[in-house]
C-alpha cells in the first residue's frame, strides 16, 4: 500500500524520517559487530530494559538484542545460537529456592519467571562458551547458576553498616571497592580501588565453584567476580552502565566485554567455513558401557549436541583395545601385559569389532544429525547438510593377530587409522610405555603391517609407540604418518610425548602431530588447564611448523582439562589462538587441513 502513496501525501516529518532511512548505508565493519543479548525485567507482563544498558552496548561497538522474559527453552536456544555475548541486567531479588534456602523475612520482590528465563539463558550460553557480563542482579544470577548462594538482605545479614548499598544507581559515586590484584577486573581497569555507585539488596555470599573474587567493599560485601580462565564471564555488583560514555573506567568494562564478544564472533565465523576435526576420542567405550549416547547431550565429553555447541565438524571415534586388568595384592586394579597368543588376538579382535559395531549403531540411530565419513570431502558434504562427520579408528593393532587380511576387513568397514599399539608391546611393535626396551621398534611382522596399511590407505598412528617404533615406521612407510594424540616432551617429560627431534623428523616425513588434552601428558603433576594445552600446541608449531600440528583431545579416554573439558569447549582453542596472533589460514591448517592432507595420501 505504501508503494502507491504519492510522496506529497506524506507529512513532512515522515518524509524526513524516510529520507534518513533510505540514505542509510552499512559500513564494511558493521557486519563484524558482535550481537549482545540483553536480558529484560518485567513490569505488568511487559519486558522492560533501561536504556542505559543498551546504550552502553551500542557505545562499545556492539548491537544489542533485547531478550524478552520467556521461558520456552527451544526459543531461548535459538536466540543464544545467534548472539555473541550475554548481558544480564539488574532488577528484583533472586528466588532463594534456586540456591536451596528459604525466604528471609526481609527478602524483596522476586520474579520467578524471570529467574527461570535467565538461568536457562546462562546455561545455554555457558554450553556454547559465550562471553557473559552480569550487572547487580546479573552478577548474583551468575553465581547462583554455577552453584553459589547469596546474601538475601544486606542490611540485616551484613553486620558492618559502614557502607550504604541502597543508593540510587545513576552516576553518583557512593563508596569504594578494593580490587583483587591479578583478577580479571584488575586487568581490565588497571587499578586496585574504584569508586562506584550502588543499588542492590542482595549480594554474592558463597562463591560458586570456578568463580574468583575480583572486588570487595570495606564491609565484606562481594562486589565483583569472574570465572576466568575457564569461562569468559565477569560479574559486577554495581551499575557501570550508569556511567557509560562519561567515565573511562566504567567504559573499560563494556569495552572489554564487547571485545570478548567480538572475538567469539570471529571464532564462530572461522568455524563456519573451515573443516574442523578432533583426531582422537574413545567415545565407543562410553557407548558400550551405556554411559552416554552420540545423539544426546550427557556427561560424556563426546556427543553431537556438544559438537554443535563447540562448532566441531568431525570427530574420530576409536575402538580401543587395552591391556589386561588384574587385582594386585593391595586390592587395586593393575594393568598387565597380555600374552601374545591366539586367545589374546581373538579376544582383542572381537572387542575391536564390537566397538566398531556399537559406533555404527549410534551413527544409524542419529542419521538425521551425522554420517560416517571416509574423507575430507565427506566432511564437507555432511557439513553442507547440517550434519556432523564421524570417522572410525582403531587404537591398538593387537586384534589383527598375525592376519594381514584383517587390515582389509577394517578398511572395508571405514577405519581410517590404526594406532599400532597401546601401553604394552604387541606383535607389531614396541610401546612407549611398559616396554621391555623402548629403543626397539617394529617387529618383522610389524614391517609387513606398515606396508599393507600403506597399500590399503589406512593412516599409521604412532601415538603410544616407542621411539624405536617411531623411527622404524618413518623408515618403512612410503606415506605420511601421524601421532593422533600426543604432546611435547620438552614441556612435559612423559614417554607418550614427542621429543624435538621426533617432531622435526615427523615434519620432514610430511606427518602431523595432534595435540592431546590429557592432563598427565601436559604437566608432570597432571594439573593442567587449557593454558597448558595451548602451550604444547604453540610449542610444537614452533618446532615442527604450522603445517604439521593439529588437535586430538583423547576425550572420553582420559582427556579433558579445565577450560577444555568436552567438545563444546573446542571453540575456546580458536579464541585463544586468535588472541596469540594465529591467522585464519593457520587455524584452517591446525583444525583439519594438516590432518586431512596426511590422510589423503
Give the per-residue SS3 of 279-297: EEECHHHHHHCCCCCCCCC
pLDDT at site 324: 63
Beta strand extents in 166-241 (DSSP E only) = 175-179, 193-196, 203-204, 212-217, 222-226, 233-236
Q: What are phi and psi of 458, to 5 degrees?
A: -90, 125
Question: How many angstroms separate the CA atoms of 373 and 362, rounded?
Answer: 14
Please write the tens of the pLDDT for every residue from 368-396: 999 999 999 999 999 999 999 999 999 99
Q: Length of the chain, please?
A: 601
Q: Say how many C-beta atoms besides its own lie within 10 A of residue 162's C-beta.
A: 9
Please write the tens of the pLDDT for every residue from 122-178: 999 999 999 999 999 999 999 999 999 999 999 999 999 888 887 776 778 889 999
pLDDT at site 201: 87
Domains of the chain: 32-267 (3.40.50.880), 274-600 (3.20.20.140)
pLDDT at site 326: 52
**Cell numbers linked to 133:** 557480563
**Cell numbers linked to 180:** 583483587
Question: How many angstroms separate the CA atoms of 161 and 285, rounded?
Answer: 57
Residues 6+ apart with CB under 8 A from 405: none
Kindly state the average pLDDT of the residues 251-274: 98
pLDDT tier, 334 (very low <50, low <70, confident <90, very high otherwise)? low
The pTM assigned to this predicted structure is 0.95
The two beta strands, 175-179 and 85-88, are unpaired
Q: How far is CA 371 from CA 243, 288, 295, 312, 365, in A?
A: 52, 19, 12, 14, 10
Q: How far is CA 301 from CA 53, 147, 373, 384, 518, in A?
A: 36, 21, 20, 24, 13
**CB contact at 8 A, 469 and 441:** yes
**Cell numbers linked to 56:** 552502553
The DSSP 8-state label assigned to residue 159 in this structure reads S
Among 477, 476, 497, CA closest to 488: 497
pLDDT at site 170: 74
Give the angle subtended at the CA of 252 by the CAs of 268 and 144, to the nearest 5°. 70
Question: How many angstroms separate the CA atoms of 106 and 378, rounded?
Answer: 61
Which percentage of the chain shows pLDDT scores above 90?
A: 88
Sign of CA dihedral 534, 538, 540, 541: positive
Among 45, 32, 152, CA closest to 92: 152
**CB contact at 8 A, 463 and 483:** yes
Kindly state the average pLDDT of the residues 342-350: 96
Please write the tens of the pLDDT for every residue from 2-60: 444 455 689 999 999 999 898 887 776 666 899 999 999 999 889 999 999 999 999 99
Give the angle subtended at the CA of 196 by the CAs of 192 and 199, to the nearest 5°. 140
Question: How many angstroms separate the CA atoms of 81 and 63, rounded?
Answer: 15
Please write the tens of the pLDDT for every residue from 446-478: 999 999 999 999 999 999 999 999 999 999 999
Please write the tens of the pLDDT for every residue from 535-567: 999 999 999 999 999 999 999 999 999 999 999
- HEC letters along 371-438: EECCCHHHHHHHHHCCCEEEEEEEECHHHHCCCCHHHHHHHHHCEEEEECCCCCCCCCECECCCCCCC
Q: Give the count of alpha carbons within 13 A of 207, CB side only.
A: 17
Please write the tens of the pLDDT for every residue from 95-114: 999 999 999 999 999 999 99
pLDDT at site 42: 94
Kindly state the average pLDDT of the residues 188-197: 95
Q: Element (H or E) spanning 522, and its range? A: helix 519-522
pLDDT tier, 1 (very low <50, low <70, confident <90, very high otherwise)? very low
**CB contact at 8 A, 138 and 90:** yes
Kindly state the average pLDDT of the residues 338-345: 93
pLDDT at site 332: 65
**CB contact at 8 A, 591 and 274:** yes
Amino acid at each position: 500500500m505504501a508503494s502507491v502513496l504519492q510522496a506529497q501525501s506524506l507529512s513532512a516529518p515522515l518524509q524526513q524520517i524516510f529520507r534518513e532511512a533510505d540514505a542509510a548505508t552499512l559500513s564494511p565493519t558493521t557486519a563484524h559487530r558482535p550481537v549482545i543479548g540483553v536480558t529484560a525485567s518485567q513490569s505488568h507482563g511487559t519486558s522492560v530494559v533501561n536504556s542505559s544498558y543498551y546504550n552502553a552496548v551500542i557505545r562499545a561497538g556492539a548491537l544489542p538484542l533485547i531478550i524478552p522474559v520467556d521461558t520456552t527453552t527451544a526459543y531461548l536456544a535459538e536466540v543464544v545460537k545467534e548472539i555473541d555475548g550475554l548481558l544480564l541486567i539488574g532488577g528484583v531479588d533472586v528466588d532463594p529456592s534456586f540456591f536451596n534456602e528459604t525466604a528471609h523475612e526481609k527478602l524483596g520482590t522476586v520474579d520467578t519467571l524471570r529467574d527461570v528465563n535467565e538461568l536457562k539463558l546462562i546455561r545455554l550460553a555457558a554450553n556454547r562458551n559465550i562471553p557473559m557480563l552480569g550487572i547487580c542482579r546479573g552478577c548474583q544470577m551468575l553465581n547462583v547458576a554455577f552453584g553459589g548462594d547469596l546474601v538475601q538482605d544486606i542490611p540485616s545479614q551484613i553486620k558492618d553498616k559502614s557502607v550504604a548499598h541502597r543508593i540510587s544507581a545513576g552516576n553518583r559515586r557512593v563508596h569504594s571497592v578494593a580490587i583483587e590484584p591479578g583478577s580479571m577486573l584488575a586487568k581490565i581497569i588497571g587499578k586496585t580501588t574504584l569508586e562506584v555507585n550502588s543499588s542492590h539488596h542482595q549480594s554474592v555470599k558463597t562463591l560458586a565453584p570456578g568463580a574468583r573474587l575480583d572486588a570487595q567493599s570495606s564491609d565484606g560485601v562481594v562486589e565483583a567476580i569472574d570465572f576466568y580462565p575457564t569461562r569468559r564471564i565477569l560479574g559486577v555488583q554495581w551499575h557501570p552502565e550508569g556511567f557509560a560514555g562519561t567515565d573511562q573506567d566504567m567504559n573499560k568494562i563494556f569495552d572489554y566485554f564487547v571485545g570478548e564478544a567480538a572475538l567469539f564472533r570471529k571464532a564462530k565465523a572461522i568455524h563456519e567455513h573451515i573443516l574442523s576435526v578432533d583426531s582422537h576420542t574413545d567415545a565407543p567405550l562410553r557407548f558400550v558401557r551405556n554411559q552416554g549416547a552420540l545423539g544426546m547431550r550427557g556427561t560424556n565429553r563426546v556427543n553431537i549436541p556438544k559438537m554443535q555447541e563447540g562448532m566441531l565438524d568431525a570427530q574420530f571415534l576409536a575402538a580401543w583395545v587395552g591391556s589386561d586388568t588384574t587385582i594386585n595384592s593391595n586390592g587395586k586394579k593393575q594393568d598387565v601385559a597380555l600374552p601374545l597368543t591366539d586367545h589374546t588376538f581373538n579376544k582383542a579382535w572381537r572387542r575391536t569389532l564390537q566397538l566398531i559395531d556399537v559406533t555404527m549403531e549410534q551413527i544409524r540411530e542419529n542419521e538425521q544429525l551425522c554420517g560416517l565419513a571416509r574423507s575430507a570431502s565427506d566432511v564437507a558434504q555432511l557439513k553442507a547438510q547440517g550434519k556432523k562427520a564421524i570417522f572410525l579408528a582403531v587404537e591398538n593393532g593387537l586384534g589383527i593377530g598375525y592376519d594381514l587380511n584383517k587390515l582389509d576387513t577394517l578398511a572395508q568397514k571405514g577405519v581410517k587409522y590404526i594406532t599400532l599399539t597401546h601401553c604394552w608391546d604387541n606383535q607389531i611393535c614396541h610401546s612407549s610405555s611398559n616396554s621391555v626396551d623402548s629403543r626397539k621398534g617394529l617387529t618383522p611382522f610389524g614391517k609387513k603391517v606398515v606396508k599393507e596399511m600403506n597399500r590399503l590407505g589406512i593412516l599409521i598412528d604412532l601415538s603410544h609407540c616407542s621411539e624405536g617404533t617411531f623411527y622404524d615406521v618413518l623408515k618403512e612407510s612410503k606415506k605420511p604418518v601421524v601421532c593422533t594424540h600426543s604432546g611435547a616432551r620438552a614441556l612435559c617429560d612423559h614417554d607418550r610425548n614427542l621429543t624435538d627431534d621426533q617432531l622435526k623428523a615427523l615434519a620432514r616425513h610430511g606427518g602431523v602431530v595432534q595435540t592431546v588434552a590429557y592432563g598427565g601428558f601436559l604437566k608432570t603433576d597432571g594439573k593442567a588447564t587449557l593454558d597448558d594445552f595451548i602451550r604444547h600446541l604453540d610449542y610444537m608449531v614452533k618446532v615442527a611448523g604450522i603445517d604439521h600440528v593439529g588437535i586430538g583431545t583423547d576425550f572420553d579416554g582420559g582427556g579433558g582439562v579445565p577450560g577444555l573439558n568436552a567438545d563444546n569447549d573446542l571453540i575456546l582453542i580458536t579464541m585463544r589462538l586468535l588472541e596469540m596472533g594465529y591467522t585464519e589460514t593457520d587455524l584452517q591448517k591446525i583444525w583439519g587441513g594438516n590432518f586431512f592432507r596426511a590422510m589423503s595420501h
